[in-house]
Structure 1
Amino acid sequence: MDIFQPSAMDAGGDSGILSLIESLSMLRSLVVPDATALDEPELCAHAARACVTHRDLECCALYLQHDRALVCTAHVRRDPDDADAPGAALDELAARVIADGEILRGASEVHGSLLAAPLAAAGRVQGVLVVGHPAAGRYSRWHERLLQLVCDVLTQTLEHGRLVRGQREAIAERSRALSHCDASLDAERRRRSAAESALVRESRLRDRLARLDTLTGLLNRAAFESELARALGRVAPGAGGRALIHVDIDRFRVINDAAGQAAGDQLIRVLAELLREHFAGASLLGRLGNDEFGILLEGRAADRVETLAESLCDAVDDFQFSFRGYRFVISLSIGVAEYRDGDSGEQLLRKAYSACLSTQEVGGGNVRLYREHDGKLKRRNNEAHALSRLVRALEEDRLELFSQPIVANARAPQAAAEPINYEILLRLKGEDGDLISPGQFLPIAERYGLSVKLDRWVVRSVLQTLAEHAERFDRFGYVTINLSGHSLGSRGFLDYVLEQLRHFDTTPGKICFEVTETVAISDLQAARRFIAGLKSRGCRFALDDFGSGYASYLYLRDLEVDFLKIDGEFVQGIATDSANLALIRSINDIGKILGKRTIAEHVENDATLALLEEIGIDFVQGYFIGRPEPLRNILEPERSH
């Protein structure tokens, strides 16, 4: 599904990506390379023609204030034969927007849906953009955000960048107003839901309501456990063919944190309906916890139940959950436990949960059948050993800094004068001296709360090493340091970084911190606070893996980052993948509009590099550019040979 096409909320496959490309193509066409070559009416006509290329914008009218009079400067309809004047309905709606200074909706005999937004700069409304569509009820809150973004781009073009600071403040205020509006709507919905639940509770039998989960209508945990014990108590000795399934939604908290509790509730409802359909013959179906479900199947062998659970995983893998502009890829962790003679309901639940937990521990999105001797204890012992090895490595200073070059686009002006930049990478040196890749120890650090300690080590070690080689470091452009999500919200971490910068007398502008898009969005408030604290000292920031979630554009204006590091999954294979190429081109264009520079990682061959240079990506990084090597080799080249 596509965040830029709410009318396609039930669509799937590639249509979401194509709709995204269409919306972004409209935005890109708004930008005039040399705005001074056109006068104001020509600029307005250009913008109106660009708007009606979008499927939801059949007509567009631009009004500008001249000597306190509101004048229609441009009016375009998609059908070139319709050259009528805007009409009284559009004029009246524009006048109301001038008076109110906010987005308004309307309708006319010709246009079932009208939407108008102000062109505002530095607190002054200087015009109105009105769009329309023949169908009634066509526009949603998403269209308001899209239309406001169009207004922002057009205002910036008309003002020639003189009111950039004021524009950003206006956009930020508008985002806060939208967030407050969302919060108010959510609160109102919760109040209404509570009132409706109260009426239902009084109209139905109390004993039935006490057994049901109010959100999904499934059995609640207490009722499920009671019914499970009753069902197993009726089983005759030696009678098999029963299995319990435990279902858990992977990374459910990310959805709640990013989009709010209402989004999580909606996903729970959707999954409950899917479970009803998928396990139509189940003896019991219940919601066991916040994002957990239980299913009892009778008359089926465990291997058949496992196959049925795998088909559920496959169905969810093909499903993308969208909510108010947010888009999430959903996966499930499923545990299956076969009933054995003498098993109580509590024991069977514990077995299924244990199997589900084993699936989650290796990333989720899979099904696991509980077995008494499946090596789980051995794996956990191995994990404990890995944790112990990481702790010893920290104590014995057996971590090593590596670096990988980030170079400027060779086709960019003054590219030859641009210094080489470096991303700092981390490796662990085993007790035998062999290097261990981060994929083998960073997940352990995240899971067991060592990531902040690792980040502190990296920050101090990088700044100390660069201070010891200050003359060589002066030849670099900047170095980037990756930070974990735990560090952004960790109490005292920001103060620690600032203290290290002062202690080693580091030039802040040569230090760039990288945070992933997922981390930034998962705790937006903490990310903003952390970024603001370091940018006020002159440090830079890069948003890593950008584009991996299509909610990215809704947050981009609110995050004061300097660089967008495009997700390598899009970069690889762009020579043969036109969709990814179009996405990268769109990300680069939006980045330029918002004043951010772009970095493409995972550049593996000359064909990919040539396309990225042609698009205008600012910097490139990957094995084709330079492989990671110890930082000391860069700072002490005479020792590396």
Structure 2
Amino acid sequence: MFRDFIEGLLNSVTSRLFPVVVLVLASLTGLWHLSRPEPAGGQALPMTAWEEPSELRRQLEQDLPYVRERLAERQAVTSTDVHRSIQPFWVSVSSNAPARGKAWAVEFPSRHAMEMRCWDEQSGQLMGEANRSMNTGQLESVRGGFALALGPERASAQLLCRASFRGPAKITATAWLAQDLQAAHAQHQKTATMIEAGLGLLAVSMALAAAINSSKLYWAFVAWLAVSLRMALLSAGADFSFFGLPLRPEWLTPIRQWTLCLYYVTTVAVYGQLFKKSLQQIGAQGLLLGQQISTLVIMGLCLVLSYEQMLPILWAASGLQFAIALPCIVLIVKRTRSRAAMWYASSLAVALLATLSEILAAAMDQKMLMGGLNSVTAALASALLASAAVAEHMRSDRRKRELAQQTLKAAYNDSPIGLFTVHEGQVIASSNPAFKAMLATVGLDGALTLNELFEPEVVLAFAALHSAGHASSFDLQARLCQPGGGEYWCAIKASTSDGRIIEGSLQDITERVRATNRLEFLVNHDPLTECLNLRGLSRKFERAQAPPRTLAYFDLDRFKLINDLYGHAAGDAVLKQVCERIRTQLGPHDLLARVGGDEFVVAFPEASMSEASQRCQNILALISSAPFQIDVQRFALSVSGGLVAAESFGGASLKEVVSAADTLCRMAKKKPTERLVVMEGGDTFFKHHKDELALISCLERGETPEGLFLLMQPELSLSRPFDSLNFEVLLRMRKPNGEIVPAPVIIEAAEAHGKSSIIDHWVVSTVIAWLEAHASQLANTQFVGVNLSGSSLNDEAFVEELFRLFERHKAAVARICIEVTETVALTDMAHMQRFIDRVRDLGVKVALDDFGAGYSSFGYLKGLSVDALKLDGSLVRDAANNPSGMAILGALGGLVSNLGMKSIGEYAENLPILKALVAAGVDYAQGYGISRPVTPERILEARSTADFIEDPEIYAFVRQLQSKDHQTIPLFPERERDPLLAGLLH
């Protein structure tokens, strides 16, 4: 507390009291100087002056007659300008004593004179010599120049003097009574003392203010005052010492040069600090920047140029600076009414008037024009007014700080956020009304300490701020310690600048925390059943940093019927009951998650495979055994599941483990009796699933998997088997180790993740390129079957790209027959018919694949204008041994023929089936009895499909078919095929 009081007192003294005291003392100094009566002046003497040639330096002192001859050639004047020459000048002066019988002296009043010697011109005797550190004989330093003392006995004097100058010197000579010169010299010394006292006091007081307030402006003004002190002494011709300590002669000229340069620099610095913001307001910040850059130029030149070279540069720069600054300040005063700008403008005006006064006085040969306003009084007045400008700036800053403190205090008291202050220790020293109201809300009141309000970790955070001892802060959320329990959350922010006083804020965030927790719950949980979702399940195991031992995936069978028949409200109620039943069979650490509409995942963190399998069987039985009751409705459900040993997947992600369990669940759905499929690490499925995951990863990146290749299975014409070479394209993939990935793995993985278009695009592009490359070797090929998946046909981007590809390769695509699965075609018949029409316009044929395996109906065949039907193996397999099957096959053969389509029978495994197909009137046969899938190279080596038959009996039967007179109409009639084939061949 004592330290704060002392700092506040010093701040008040330096910002309020010191400026007043300093201004008063400086004003008294200026008034004293102006009120002093001018001493009696000397009498100007005529003289002749001659600049000594550099080649004769130091030689002429031994040849005074030669000097007198040169001077005699000159015209007598009262003053001579040396034009900043550093060569010595010879001066001849004649004078009578101002009064008889009194001591008198001849003065050479130039502050730029460095040394001087004088001789009696008649006798040639040396009368004295002097410089700025010593004098001998009758010559001594007086005021700013030198004076030769003469006794009362001497009525006249004829002098010959040699003098050296540095700077803009003017040579003059005056005759004085000794007592008058002594009085003038005394007043000159007092003036120097008063300058040092007045400006020195200003500088010291401002240095104290700068040290306490840490202000750049104050330090800049301190430097300007120190340099102004030297400038004033230079103007008065009293800069040969520094607070009574004489300066060495060789230092004097460099000190004067640096005084002038630093005066320019510090003037720009103070001007910039005072008016930077105001100059920005009037759009003159560019001018300020130019002035600041000029200071760097001046400092650089000051290092390399001499005093005489720097003087005209400084005069020009100062004049330009004055010409720029004064209009800006006038504009600032006009716009902002700034009193600091008024004081500073007055300071510049005084300096300008003093300069004009001296110039006009010299031009009119007057001693003084404006009532004592000369360079010395101007320096004092200018410093005084500049001090007033800085004092006003300090006062203005102080006022702004006070207003800011008042505003801050009002904001502190009116803030809706609780604010409090903690001094050393744990006691809350002060707080605002909002803080007290918050504590009263939760039942806390009176003088409190931190440990009464907050939990231990918050108290430790405050203690860390105290011990830091420097600027530091923290920001955290915590609960208040309420007397009656409950939950009250707050956001706490605290900061300190020195570790002694900590300012803190307290904001009620209870509702926000509750909303955040609820939002986090919704993000990680299913809102309907309130069990975890897949994200929440993943986060559970990410935090535990360990995967579950086993994981099960369940899918309700035919649940969609409940939503379709009874509405989603009934379906939601059933899902809730399903979750309740599942939970009854789970252990305390098991986790249930809903990952789809009717799909659930159960993670068993600790259960072994046998334990988890038993729990899964219990879940299946519980869900299937008893119907679900919703109002008056009863619903019976069954469920399929897949169980995996998650530990077998090593470092695989939970998503991959869930995907494996999902695959097993889908396998369970295809089995009529086994509702739970269990997989452990050694199962063949594990290897296939790894392949599927690798394939999915590649497809997810939009890349075509490596290792894809094509096989081709021939299709036999049952009328002219030796005249055609038709086949279906089959997809395979070879792994880097040489293993072959089955086609179902590739297709199911692509379709399950919506990436089948990548596979289909590769197949179609590869087939077209192969057909174009080998057109001449495929003269007997009428059609090539290419399967397209349903998801690709529903992908508009893929379909459009497919048509662009067909447009570019019309000759090759004329051999292609696109095979579409029956179930896909029936999903949207209108869309499928539009697709068929477009591809048939390009010469492409379309076949309906797996006819008879789905929802086969003769009615829909009228709505799809396909070119062929591929009869599913289930219709063909038993036809040779089953009369009803043969009847169906015969009916289909006749129907297809009457509809103008071609028929292709699958599963032609042996001779009886092949004969049944011929008897039923089927056009083409495909199966292992004819040929297994072969490589493209084998196709190119054959002339017809019959070349692939290895069974002698089948081959003999096929030879009989070829010998018959009738033949099957080709899928591509000759009149359509010949132009296309000709195009490919050429």
TM-score bucket of the superposed structures, by smaller chain: 0.3 to 0.5
Greater RCO, 1 or 2 (C-alpha within 8 Å, sep 6+): 1
Normalized against structure 1, the TM-score is what?
Answer: 0.46
Normalized against structure 2, the TM-score is what?
Answer: 0.31
